[in-house]
Amino acid sequence: MRIKLTNVYVDDQEKALHFYTEVLGFTKKADVTQGPFRWLTVASSEEPDGTQLQLALSNNPAAKAYQQAMFQQGQPAVMFFSEDVRGDYERIKARGAEFSMPPTEVTGSTIAKLNDTCGNLIQITQLARW
């Protein structure tokens, strides 16, 4: 068994596509519209055939409530791993991202948190090398 897809709820799919591709540097994988439904996914440019992230519209009241509660509590909706969190921080910040936490050393890793502009916090994590 493998994980091939996970999702993050976004309040605007077009804005999310811009953020995840132009700011974070991911690659658009699927973009299919049927009526009011849009299936939109991105993947890491480093692993284009790896796990996809669906940018799911948060038009379901339960999804919207969950998304807002997680954001208000400062909890990331998704976590990405990096080999160079400080370098990624500088690159992403230069592209206009707003960080709520710059790279910070915590137990076993260095993390940074940023706003995806679509209702979510994202955490970037670099695991410590022992």
SS3 for the chain is CCCCEEEEEECCHHHHHHHHHHHCCCEEEEEEEECCEEEEEEECCCCCCCCEEEEEECCCHHHHHHHHHHHHCCCCCEEEECCCHHHHHHHHHHCCCEEEEEEEEECCEEEEEEECCCCCEEEEEEECCC
Residue 130 pLDDT: 67
Average pLDDT over residues 37-56: 96
Q: Which residues face 8 on adjacent strands?
A: 55
Q: Which domains are delineated in the chain?
A: 5-127 (3.10.180.10)
- Residues 6+ positions from 30 with CB-CB distance below 8 Å: 39, 40, 41, 52
Residues 66-118 pLDDT 10s: 999 999 999 999 999 999 999 999 999 999 999 999 999 999 999 999 999 99
Average pLDDT over residues 26-49: 96
**pLDDT tier at 129 (50, 70, 90 boundaries)?**
confident
Query: In a 10 Å sphere around its CB, with 0-12 CB exposed, 13-18 middle and 19+ buried, how is residue 126 labelled?
Result: buried
**pLDDT averaged over the chain?**
96
Average pLDDT over residues 39-44: 98
49 phi and psi angles, rounded to 5 deg: -100, 10
Query: Nearest-CA neighbor of 113 among 82, 130, 42, 128?
Result: 82
pLDDT score of 44 more than 80: yes
pLDDT score of 47 more than 80: yes
- pTM recorded for the entire structure: 0.93
